[in-house]
Amino acid sequence: MVGYQVFDKLKLVRFTWEGRVDPEELAQVSIEYALGPDFDPEYRMSMDVTRGWLTSVGEVQLLIDLCRPYYRAHSAPTRSALYAPDDRSFRIATAYATLAAPVAGYPITIFRDAPSALTHLGLNCADWRAQEVYSADGGTPGGSCGGRRRAANRASGSPKNPAPVQPAPVILR
């Protein structure tokens, strides 16, 4: 499963992976976010790959190909951090960052510890709102930080900041 959480007060969106991730589902959630009312092209991005995985480099490449419209929706320079504390998630994050950064047009940096990821994103890791980004439960939805959870297949309204995003192409297998 793939989901995301928006932290308005931090100007950040955090994507999370859970279990085996389908590249098409991840691309769909990313594009739904970019087309939805929570989207702001200037928000920083964090991806937590701690509890999720892709099974091959081919799946990573498929994800990148499907996410091209999502990458184009962001303003430069977008700050992006992949949180991958263990060896398995670090390998996945490395493959993704290596293949996606040239397509995305902004650097995708990998971190093994949350304080470094938060600092890279320009957040004070001593701030409790920033600590919620990587808390064990994934943050407090609707809490004081303004974080809101979004899961896959969420209906979206008009964008907060419209972006030139087109739906991903359909890939026939």
- The amino acid present at 52, given as its one-letter code, is G
Please tell me the distance from the alpha carbon of residue 81 to that of residue 125, in angstroms, as a whole number: 14
Is residue 173 included in any domain, yes or no? no
The reported pLDDT for the residue numbered 99 is: 87
Is residue 124 included in any domain, yes or no? yes
More confident: 73 or 170: 73
Q: What range defines the domain where residue 86 resides?
A: 2-151
Please tell me the distance from the alpha carbon of residue 45 to that of residue 39, in angstroms, as a whole number: 11
Is residue 169 included in any domain, yes or no? no
Is residue 158 included in any domain, yes or no? no
Contacts of 86 (CB under 8 A, 6+ apart): 50
The reported pLDDT for the residue numbered 133 is: 77
Is residue 141 included in any domain, yes or no? yes
Q: The whole model's pTM is what? A: 0.69
Q: Dump pLDDT digits (tens) for 102-146.
A: 887 778 899 998 888 888 888 887 776 677 777 644 433 323 333
CATH number of the structural domain spanning residue 53: 3.30.750.24
Mean pLDDT of the chain: 74
Is residue 129 included in any domain, yes or no? yes
The reported pLDDT for the residue numbered 158 is: 36
**Number of domains the chain is built from:** 1
Is residue 114 included in any domain, yes or no? yes
CA distances from 44 to 47, 49, 77, 87, 133 (A): 10, 16, 9, 25, 12
CA distances from 170 to 11, 24, 81, 99, 124 (A): 31, 9, 28, 20, 41
Is residue 156 included in any domain, yes or no? no
